[in-house]
Structure 1
Amino acid sequence: MKLSSVELFKLICEEIVGSEKIVEYRRLFFKVFDNIFNTPPFSEIHTQICSGSKAEGLFLSGSDLDVVRTMVKFIAYKCGTTEANIDTKKAVLFINSDLASPGYTFLWIHDKNHPEWRDAWIKRTYDGHLFSSRRFKEWIKVEQKSKILELYNSCTCTMDAHDLNGPCISNTRLDQAISIVCNSWPESAMPWASRNRPYRCLTQDMINSQINRGVLLVPMGNKTESVNAHPDEWRISFALTEKDLIHSWNHVQMVCYACLKIVLKEYVKPKSRGDDVLTSYLIKTTLLWISEEIRPASWTPENLTLCFRQCINRLSYYFKYKFFPNYFIPDCNMIKCNTTEQSLTILSAMLNDIGDNVIACLLQCASLSGLVKLKLDRSISNGLTSFDLAVLPLFSSYLPEIRASPLILIKCIKHITSLTSVEIKNLYLMTLIQSAYVQGQFLPKIETLHNEVFCPDTVTTKRSNGIP
């Protein structure tokens, strides 16, 4: 079967990615999802940031949801920040990357007597006190496992039981990483802000806003120079900026992103014999690099296969020369040290083959051969809007089973889409989602919400007659 680039674009939009509106509504769903968990009681210890491909707007078969949880009682600043500019109500840390691996940092404790600190986390040195990533992970895994699991299992009641895996609290559909907010953009990433971008794909306002928001710090040491991660380093995460940059992509870039992820999961991995060299994050990084190098006007359906091939060729190049530069800190090589030369050679050759036979390789993937398609309840699928098509599968994945007439839910969602105020839409949808967490009371709450928002006169009459 032969397809043109435009035909491939249409096929992927229809079967996998959806329309531009559907992608937009998926992003809205996770924005609301974050807002819910960033209010008490959920936000008393952590705040939530949905990241990864789902929060970026894709809904690919078999992918889990990435969630970064920030510890609200901790905050990091760059070294030299004055006392007047730090929040001493929180446990304060200072970042110092001078002796750390590229892309990583050490966290120095400002006041070890702050009540949030635990002796088990702290490593004492001649220069001061370090917040050790390894000790923190060990404490989570051993001392606080039952407490943390109880907290997360109660807050995310739509998921299966969680387990701890390194710095993450995970299950089959959810991967949660714990992090600390750093309000300062790291010095090692400053060249990202000023480097030459021939097509000006990022405005100066976009760049400035990202620098001002800072980064996240994740308890994971560098593994590219040693089999064992450095015990005291913290990885600098640009997850917030990455999500914003991807949200600025056009729809062809999103389709190209989906194609790359599908090829990784359904073509490369089955042929890689267990080697986990090429990851989703490396794919994202490659597309971020390529998006700076291709003229924005070139991202069209007619050029989809050409842009896809350029990404594949770049991946092959990185693996051939055994250096994969981080998008924000190019000195950081993201290929793990224990990756064998044979694995890199095989992967590079496989990617070259994909680049030479783009459409043929894509059509060998189950998602594009028709084996995996978006499935909705046939009784309610007729006449669904883009909003419905985007949100309903997410409801089924991240909320409890809804024990109510689907027609009531559809009616409410359609009313949401008819509103003109974005704020009201968000508020109403957020309340709708919150109500779903109380399964037994779902239907009465939905009906009450519907009547109060859209039939206020009826509600007033009922209440005046003593009807609840």
Structure 2
Amino acid sequence: MNHIARLSEVMYVGLCRRVGSPTEVRIRREVNDTMEVVSQPVYIMKRLDRMKSGSKREGFRLITSDSDWMLWPPDHKVICDISQINLYRIPQHTVMLMECDDLPPGFTRLSLLSQSNNAETVSSCVVMNDSTYISSTIFRENYLRFLNTYGISTAVLHGPCSTYSILQDVDADNAFCFKSDHWPTSAIPWIQRCRERRWPNQTVVSEILSGGFHIVPIGSTPENKLEWRISFSQAEQKLVYSMNHCQFLCYGLFKVFLKDVINCQPNTSILCSYFIKTIVFWVIQKNTSLSWTPENLLTCFWESFKLLIYMVHTGECPNFFIPQNNMFRVKVTGSVQILLFNQLYDLYSKGISCLLLSEKIRPYLSIAILYKTLRVQTDENNF
């Protein structure tokens, strides 16, 4: 067994202790899924459906893991085509039509086709060209006030979410949004790509398609107050569930490395764990020859890290479901992009030893390096 394989195996064992063993991760997910079903009917007087999202839902229990929730009025239905309106009953359902023409990929407007009894939705309406649209900006502000009425006065807007602290260094992110039971037209090519690359498998693809997607209140730029972002949070959770444990630990290792090393410098802390997750998805699907096993863990991490460097260099991070949506379009540009690339390239130049810069990762690699040294010394003495 070569040195990298030995280091990988030791890292795998160490990450199982820090991130979780296969059994621990499975139990966390089952508990989350059960709690969501049990608590659903009673949440805020049945006014909203909700879904836990983020790293805790995925099975992580890292110190900095936030509590992320998506919440939406259950009688509000988003359709992708006008013909789908026949699937719903009016006035029991409030129907909204997606309009994606002349908008950046991954974003939409919501045209209100029927009346709503939801106060936050009604007061978010804006009339334009004889049509009624729901303003994402007003919608966010309305639900921020909604939280205030329930005693959460510290909540502030952060992207599409209302964020407030629940513990030291741990925030709760509530994304008030809408849900669609369909699949967006712009993401249909993703289905064929999965069939060609054979990841995820057809069972997971079917589950994702039947689960639909969400529309969260944030535009491509702050001034676009009628734009909403298409969110695949539920689909991404199913993708993470479908990972084998080596893939999951590689994702966890990348998250820790991002927090401890890449984002430790204020001038370059522009990457988020969502970018990291997207990169791991692309590596799994594109590099079909890569072996996701414990002895290959560091090789898999290195492939993911190299893809990150390439994306920063080109300034393009394609969304996994809608590749035309470049998620670096606003954040990773100009001087910030140059600084980040130089930082990542410096780390790349150190080789896999750059992982030693993380206080959380260093102990596991140090043990493996010490083991290797002692083994070499023993072999030399025996010789």
Which residue number corresponds to residue 10 of structure 1?
Answer: 13
2:49, 2:363 → 1: CA distance? 39
The residue type paired with residue 58 of structure 1 is: F
- List aligned pairs for 1:288-437, cutoff 5 A: 288-295=281-288, 298-337=291-330, 339-357=332-350, 359-369=352-362
Correspondent of 1:184 among 179, 182, 185: 182
**CA offsets, 1:252-311, max 9 Å, x none?**
01110011101110001113x244421110000001111102337710111111110111
- Give 1:319 shift: 0.9
Deviation of the 1:78 alpha carbon: 1.7
* Distance in 2, Cα, partners of 1:180 & 1:124: 19
SS in 2 for 1:38: helix
Question: Is residue 189–residue 328 contact of structure 1 (8 Å, CA) maintained in 2?
Answer: yes
How many Å separate the matches in 2 of 1:220 and 1:19?
Answer: 36
Partner of 2:226: 232
Show the counterpart of 1:165. 157
Q: In structure 2, how many angstroms separate the alpha carbons of the residues matched to 1:69 and 1:296? A: 39
Within a 5 Å distance, the mapping from 1:77-226 to structure 2 comes to 77-88=79-90, 89-112=92-115, 114-116=116-118, 119-141=122-144, 143-147=145-149, 149-150=150-151, 162-166=154-158, 167-172=160-165, 173=170, 174-195=172-193, 199-223=197-221
Q: Which amino acid aligns with 2:322?
A: I
The match for 1:246 is 240
Kindly state the Cα deviation for residue 364 of structure 1 after the two structures are TM-superposed: 2.0
Asked if residue 277 in structure 1 is aligned to residue 277 in structure 2, the reply is no
Distance 1:252 1:83, change over 3 A: closer
Cα gap change, 1:121 to 1:358, in 2 (>3 Å): same
Identity value in percent: 27
Distance of aligned partners of 1:196 and 1:11 in 2 relative to their CA distance in 1, 3 Å threshold: closer
1:262 aligns with 2:256: yes
Q: CA RMSD in A?
A: 2.4
Q: 1:55 to 1:279 in 2, by over 3 A?
A: same
Q: Would you say how many aligned residue pairs link Structure 1 and Structure 2?
A: 353
Q: Match of 2:236, SS? A: helix
8 Å Cα contact 2:178/2:215 also seen in 1: yes
Instruction: Go from structure 1 to structure 2 and tell me whether the alpha carbon gap of 1:45 and 1:19 turns closer, same or farther (over 3 Å shift).
Output: same
Asked if structure 2 preserves the Cα contact closer than 8 Å seen for 1:198 and 1:292, the reply is no
Counterpart residue number, 2:367: none
Task: State TM-score, norm by structure 2.
Answer: 0.85
Cα 1:39–1:145 shift into 2, 3 Å: closer
**Does the 8 Å CA contact 1:51/1:68 hold for their aligned counterparts?**
yes
Q: 5+ residue gaps in structure 2?
A: 365-383
Q: Residues 323-354 of structure 1: CA distance to partner in whole angstroms, max 9, x if unpaired?
A: 11110001101014254422212222332343
Distance 1:96 1:337, change over 3 A: same
Distance 2:257 2:359 in 1: 10
Counterpart of 2:25 in structure 1 is 23
TM-score by length of 1: 0.70
Q: Evaluate the alpha carbon distance shift between residue 36 and residue 169 of structure 1 in structure 2; reply closer, same or farther with a 3 A threshold.
A: farther
1:313/1:351 contact within 8 Å kept = no
Amino acid at match of 2:234: L
What displacement does 1:209 show?
Answer: 2.7
Q: Deviations over 1:442-468 (max 9, x none)?
A: xxxxxxxxxxxxxxxxxxxxxxxxxxx
CA distance in 1, matches of 2:269, 2:74: 33
Range with greater deviation from structure 2 (290-299 or 259-268): 290-299
Do the aligned partners of residues 199 and 105 (structure 1) sit closer, same or farther apart at CA in structure 2, a change above 3 Å counting?
A: closer
Q: Is the 8 A contact 1:316 1:349 kept in 2?
A: no
The separation in 1 between residues aligned to 2:8 and 2:340, in whole angstroms, is 25
1:327 partner SS = coil
- State the distance in 1 between where 2:250 and 2:351 align: 12
Q: How many angstroms apart in 1 are the aligned matches of 2:212 and 2:180? A: 6
Cα pair 1:313 1:352 within 8 Å, conserved? no
Counterpart secondary structure, 2:41: coil
Deviation readout 1:418-438 (Å, 9 max, x if unpaired): xxxxxxxxxxxxxxxxxxxxx
Task: Say if 2:292 and 2:300, in contact at 8 Å, map to a contact too.
Answer: yes
- CA distance 1:274–1:30, change in 2 (3 Å): farther
Q: Kindly provide the CA deviation profile for residues 82-122 of structure 1, in whole angstroms up to 9, marking residues without a partner as x.
A: 5431132122111121222210111110124x333555311
What secondary structure, in the 3-state scheme, does the structure 1 residue paired with 2:218 have?
coil
Residues 224-250 of structure 1 show CA distances to partners (whole Å, capped at 9, x for unaligned) of xxxx25110111000011000110101
Q: Which moved more, 1:64-73 or 1:252-261?
A: 64-73
Whether the aligned pair in 2 keeps the contact of 1:315 and 1:348 (CA below 8 Å) is no
